[in-house]
Amino acid sequence: GSTDGTAAEVDKHFAGDPRVRLMSFENGGKAHALNRGLVHAQGEIIVALDADTQFPAKTIRRLTRWFEDPTIGAVAGNALVGNRINLVTRWQALEYVTAQNLERRALAALGAVTVVPGAVGAWRKTALEQLGGYPADTLAEDQDLTLAVQQAGWRVEFDPAARAYTEAPDTVDGLLKQRFRWSFGTLQCLWKHRKALFSLKYPVLGFVALPQIWLFQIILATA
C-alpha cells in the first residue's frame, strides 16, 4: 500500500538477500499488514517497529533475550525522539523520556505495562496467534494487544536498554493530529477492555494499569 517508493528501494538494495522478504499489497491498514507478515514469520519471536523508526545494532538482541522466560508474552522497548530539530520535537523528546518512559519503568515494576509501543516491541508468536493476531478494530492496536496479552495470562516487560529512535511530528498541527489519534485509540481500548477494570480476575491490570490510564490519560487530561 506504500506510495512513497519504499518497495522499490527495498527491492533495489535487498532483492538478493535471503533474509529479507518484500511483500506488497493494497493498503488495508497497519493491523492488516502486520497480520500478513505474521502469517509468513517463521520464528517464535516477532519484533515490530514503525516505518519512521530506526534500531541501534543491539536493540533486537536486548528485546529477544527476555523470551527465555516462557511466561513472557511481550516486551516493550524504549522509544526516543530521533529528529530533535525544533522546539516541537525537542519538547516531545523531553516528554518521551519523562512522561512516557519513566512512567513505563514504574508500571513495569508493578507488572502493569499498559502499552508495548508500535515503534519498538517484541511479541511471542504463540501469544499473538492465541489472540488472533493484531486487532484491527481500534486505532491503538499496540495498546489493545498489550492489554489483551495480559488478560490471556502472559507477562509484559519493559527493557529501557532496547532503544529505538522514532521520527516525531515536527509541526504543531502534526502533533495535534497524532495526539488526537492516540487519545481516541486509547478510549477505544478502554471501552473494549472495560470488563477488566476492577476485576479480581486481573488484579494488576484491573486495579493498577487500567485505572492509571483512566486517571492520567483521560480524566486529568480533559479536566
Q: What is the pLDDT of residues 170-215, one digit of tens each?
A: 999 999 999 999 999 999 999 999 999 999 999 999 999 999 999 9
Give the pLDDT confidence of 91-119 residue by residue, as tens digits: 999 999 987 778 889 999 999 999 999 99
Strands 155-166 and 72-81 come out as: parallel
Strands 155-166 and 53-54 come out as: antiparallel
Distance CA 190, CA 60 (A): 30
- Please check the confidence at residue 63 and state whether its pLDDT lies above 80: yes
pLDDT at residue 25, rounded to an integer: 82
| Mean pLDDT calculated for residue range 71-91 | 97
| Mean pLDDT calculated for residue range 28-54 | 93
| Closest by Cα among 31, 32, 33 to 22 | 33
Q: The whole model's pTM is what?
A: 0.93
Query: What ranges do the domains of the chain cover?
Result: 1-40, 44-222
Q: What percent of the chain has pLDDT over 70?
A: 99
Distance CA 136, CA 141 (A): 7
pLDDT at residue 174, rounded to an integer: 98
> What are the residues facing 81 on neighbouring strands?
166
Give CATH for domain 44-222.
3.90.550.10
Q: What contacts 81, CB < 8 A, 6 or more positions away?
A: 89, 92, 93, 96, 165, 166, 168
pLDDT at residue 74, rounded to an integer: 99
Sign of the torsion formed by the C-alpha atoms of 11, 14, 15 and 18:
negative
